[in-house]
């Protein structure tokens, strides 16, 4: 499996393609190589572009796909379909960090986590927004 799908219903993002260890953010979201896979113990880290929110054009416009990510609320659902299985994560925290801060790549193996990363303020490269979520186990 080299790709999977991500949906964030509250932001209108539906079945966006995530390429594992990809290198072109204009064509997909990128799963940072070496980080956990969805559903496994560890931290799945996904990068995506942001731009000014008025340029958000929906799920398949990857140059603006995370333009509205700063508006996501703690408690929101993030859905991932990976290798035929559906996973639901709940947003637990939003953190803005310096671009040199590599802490979002850290791996914890006590549970399954997800971190979405984009530039903020939207349309700039000044800081990085890290949206952290935890897998909901059924």
Model pLDDT for residues 68-126, shown as the tens digit of each residue: 999 999 999 999 999 999 999 999 999 999 999 999 999 999 999 999 999 999 888 99
Mean of per-residue pLDDT scores for the chain: 94
**Cβ count within 10 A of residue 51:** 19
Q: What percent of the chain has pLDDT over 90?
A: 85
The Cα–Cα gap between 34 and 20 comes to 9
DSSP state of 136: P
Q: Which pTM value belongs to this model?
A: 0.95
């Amino acid at each position: 499996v080299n790709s999977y799908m991500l949906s964030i219903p509250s932001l209108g993002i539906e079945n966006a393609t995530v390429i594992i260890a990809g290198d072109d953010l204009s064509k997909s979201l990128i799963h940072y190589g070496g980080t956990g896979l969805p559903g496994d113990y560890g931290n799945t880290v996904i990068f995506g572009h942001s731009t000014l929110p008025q340029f958000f054009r929906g799920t398949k416009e990857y140059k603006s796909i995370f333009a509205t990510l700063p508006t996501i609320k703690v408690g929101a659902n993030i859905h991932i379909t990976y290798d035929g299985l559906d996973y639901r994560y709940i947003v637990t925290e939003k953190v803005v960090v310096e671009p040199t801060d590599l802490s979002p790549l850290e791996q914890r193996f006590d549970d399954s986590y997800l971190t979405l990363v984009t530039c903020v303020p939207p349309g700039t490269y000044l800081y990085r927004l890290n949206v952290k979520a935890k897998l909901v186990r059924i």
